[in-house]
Structure 1
């Protein structure tokens, strides 16, 4: 049985077509997993019958929606319907090393930005790919499992913008409520960590020598090894991830599996919500319309409709339902119910993953080597250990305040995200990033079979803003995503500073002992510039940087006097009764964090706001 399962895993090897696995290939793994490990059977089943009316309808089973559904169903008198456009999870999705394969499956919405003349220039059709989860658990089921909260100043800034109750002192209890810290030395800090929540956080059960080089190199540069989810954030660290015992624990597994038998909880999967039902006279949301198995349903909500569909789908659904910018909705022939700045304020963290460093030892995650290592695969199946337990080859993370680098309690503006792999390590990486064949074949193809590392240089406090717009009034048509993430020139200069931090790291003794050397074949669109110069790296950033899929801000939270706000601090949509948005789209400023855990925090706090407003919070 195990050998057969291993051979199925080998199907991921070979040409690109074989290495862009479809769902049936991943499902094939399920047949060969030992009995007792089929946790996916604990996923809440589809409701056999959708009843006509619920107290609350939650749209989207992602990071925020999963938490929200868990907490609302604690009130046994409330009936909750959770509607998810995607399908069920499967076991292969929870093998951490396979993270880079998952966006090729049907579990991804497969969004692309509108072609740009300023960024994404090395991508196919000059479009960046924005991977968003279309599956139970949402993006937490297909992401790289990074567990970060951000800096306390992020949330204090939210409060200073007029969002009462969203300061750090207010949100920290919600981070603690959801967390189950399994790293003993960190769990002892009970002020900043908890072991009683549903969401596990751990280190991988395996690490390469380059992971040590990363944190030791940071120390050489004068930075501390830090618990970045503790009192301060600035410094270097091994990666804290949303894993446990070597497996992914996404939001569905953490928050929905345990409540699958609650009698007041119904789930409708593979169900595309096409419209929020709103009385145009009273401006009250009273239900949703969705399609499942080619059948259309209209279901009513006695109390509220809550959107937790994410920073792309929540604004899309609001606009389809008549809530959004008047001029844009009129152009789409959609009757306007409420004129709000829906879709504006789009934020993400641009990251540049294309600087590749060659090492002279076999100390990285070379896919061919790992996939052909039978003992490593069996070790993972039996013990959840070994290289298959590492989230997409990512092993370390650093937060740096380039304006005040010596301050141990700085306000980081750049992140270095360390992978013991490079673009040539696995031929689907460049497809994952959306790079053209020309770029890959010119710069990387001849390196296949070698060993590399990468530190993705990321801008954490972007000033550029994008926008989500409807392409048409057809809910099945993907919206338009406009995001020139270097529109504000300061962001490009911050990106340059981040790249320089990577170059300094590469020259430390910790990396030199592995013969670390920057790969120096230039990106085709930048070969007219001096390799390694500031202008060269600016050009490379415009060609190869991408959003890191931390989309946020498109249903901005703000006080009533903020004309750009879509929801208030209690997350109710302005001017429409019975309607809230509770997900990353409400972030007024994106935190200095990967947004999975902050989105869960929003789900936690949002649930309490709902309970308070309906007088059911203890």
Structure 2
């Protein structure tokens, strides 16, 4: 056994970085944090550069999943499952939407047996994490926010006209404007707003920047990067099984072990945490035997009950409304304009002889990225996923809003559509090069059912931790989800028709689907067409949860059933997915888990809120 620490934490992501930073507030506690990735690259700080981080092996695990009842039109037929592989984890990879969920989500958790997880009980942890910056463009419910927490929460500056128009159109479609992270979320009519994002001064506020970066100089915190964790070390005498440490593999292939004197905390996310439990012999006995893993604790629900959100992109031509990709690229600086995709030379050394027009383009790009760097303002200050609406379809799940509609103020490029989203432009558009011309503007309205009834799974393919697990996403296995998706798509079309100035016009209907359903431009799409659209082109919102959920795998204090000294603390413990983007809740889970560990073992945190 190598070095010994009081606590070993696996995964420096949305929850793990929080726990490591909080526990190391006590100078008498020794904490080791293991992360498979490395420090985030400079582009991670730039919100509008988010697409460059996905599908990049340096920052993304690049998992793939079987999409089940959707994905008929995806490139390769597999759904991408982006997961952050760097300090900060998926909080450094996501589109930065800060959404707590509906209060009823958490009350339902508590009513189902997750004692201590009601909305009233988790709200202090949301507020502890949050450094909210009020904006005059928001109708903020200030009493529900925290203003001195480490995670920056703000609205992009400047506000894009298209985003305020979305909120206005949602209002015309029946939703009130308000603070969806405040009491307005309880309104039965729904609520629409500009997105609150995990940004501070126009820069991404991942858990690396918010928690870990300031804590890394502490002598009692050891952060090990490039550490592929192979298994949790478990010891038992026949009656009691205890976690004693972790085995991991370094980037050069060396096998190392680190001992945990008090606890091991798995914070590897809804894919990684169940995979590590299974590799450690914690799971369904028969399935472990199939891949040659000895079962230590027979816990059949490990990796089960996977939940995720889907949205179906409804795209509109929007000259004069949306942001062109030319403008977005210019705001990211000269490097975003370089060949082969852009007009500037691939090698900056060749800029010396630029024609006057290109020299002016480069100068403007330098000015814009300089403005963002010094003031935090500009197109670069947001992922352009900038507004949202929440409401109920009336089809069930009365405890919460079951629907979300997001708004993306740009249309991206053919290469991003195919390479990142896996949507083939040649099938989706009649003329992709013309429609997605970088000098033309588009917007995307994203209908998203947020209380899916379908469940998937994460299982082992191999006992080798370097082999990705099998991810069965199983979308639309429950017919209820299809019905809700069609209803949310209809509401999205209603918002588009209510757009200020006479509506957004016709959404893009993929030509092969229009032909198959006899759809004529200008006519109302049938339910069958909308369902087929979703089955072909709905894509993940990257919100995997519930694979180690409270009840079946961990108790309400996040301790793994049947094993002492082992907890799971990340999105996998959610009893059900929240009704909205999941990152804020994952951070809250990290805050609450740190306090649970501290109170169980006498660790002195600077502040206790529970």
Normalised by the length of structure 1, the TM-score is 0.86
Which of 452, 455, 464 matches 1:465? Answer: 455
2:562 is the alignment partner of 1:575: yes
CA contact (8 A) 2:549 2:575 kept: yes
Which of 349, 355, 367 matches 2:325? Answer: 367
1:159-192 per-residue CA deviation (whole Å, 9 max, x = no partner) reads 1111111111110010011111111567974431
CA contact (8 A) 1:97 1:387 kept: yes
Match of 2:421 in 1: 433
> Distance in 1 between the 2:508 and 2:461 partners?
41
Per the TM alignment, residue 135 of structure 1 is displaced from its structure 2 partner at its CA by 0.6
Which of 21, 28, 32 matches 1:77? Answer: 28
1:391-444 per-residue CA deviation (whole Å, 9 max, x = no partner) reads 2x2110110112199xxx983111011011225x56313321112364256563
Which of 402, 407, 415 matches 1:418? Answer: 407
2:476 is the alignment partner of 1:486: yes
Match of 2:176 in 1: 224
Per the TM alignment, residue 99 of structure 1 is displaced from its structure 2 partner at its CA by 1.0
Moved more, 279-288 or 430-439: 430-439
Match of 2:273 in 1: 314
2:75 is the alignment partner of 1:124: yes
> Distance in 1 between the 2:399 and 2:496 partners?
23
2:107 is the alignment partner of 1:107: no
- Number of residues of Structure 1 aligned to a counterpart in Structure 2: 553
Match of 2:148 in 1: 196
Per the TM alignment, residue 458 of structure 1 is displaced from its structure 2 partner at its CA by 0.3
Local SS of the residue matching 1:483: strand
> Distance in 2 between the 1:139 and 1:350 partners?
17
Match of 1:7 in 2: none
Match of 1:344 in 2: 304
1:299-357 per-residue CA deviation (whole Å, 9 max, x = no partner) reads 1100111000000000000000100111110111110001111000000111112x211
Which of 555, 560, 575 matches 2:548? Answer: 555
Normalised by the length of structure 2, the TM-score is 0.87
Mapping for residues 316-335 of structure 1, pairs under 5 Å: 316-335=275-294
Which of 441, 466, 471 matches 1:476? Answer: 466
> Distance in 2 between the 1:430 and 1:236 partners?
30
> Distance in 1 between the 2:593 and 2:171 partners?
39
Match of 1:160 in 2: 111
Local SS of the residue matching 2:152: strand
CA contact (8 A) 1:148 1:597 kept: yes
Q: Over the residues paired in the alignment, what is the CA RMSD in angstroms? A: 2.0
Match of 1:17 in 2: none
Local SS of the residue matching 1:103: coil
Moved more, 465-474 or 364-373: 364-373
CA contact (8 A) 1:207 1:387 kept: no
Match of 1:279 in 2: 235
With over 3 angstroms needed to count, the CA separation of the structure-2 counterparts of 1:586 and 1:203, relative to structure 1, is same
Hey, which bits of structure 1, 4+ residues long, moved more than 6 A? none
With over 3 angstroms needed to count, the CA separation of the structure-2 counterparts of 1:552 and 1:416, relative to structure 1, is same
Gaps of 5+ in 1: 1-49, 559-564
2:84 is the alignment partner of 1:133: yes
CA contact (8 A) 1:367 1:426 kept: no
Gaps of 5+ in 2: 331-363, 520-524
Per the TM alignment, residue 112 of structure 1 is displaced from its structure 2 partner at its CA by 0.8
Which of 359, 378, 381 matches 2:373? Answer: 381
> Distance in 2 between the 1:174 and 1:115 partners?
34
1:275-311 per-residue CA deviation (whole Å, 9 max, x = no partner) reads 1111143411100111113221111100111000000
Match of 2:530 in 1: 537
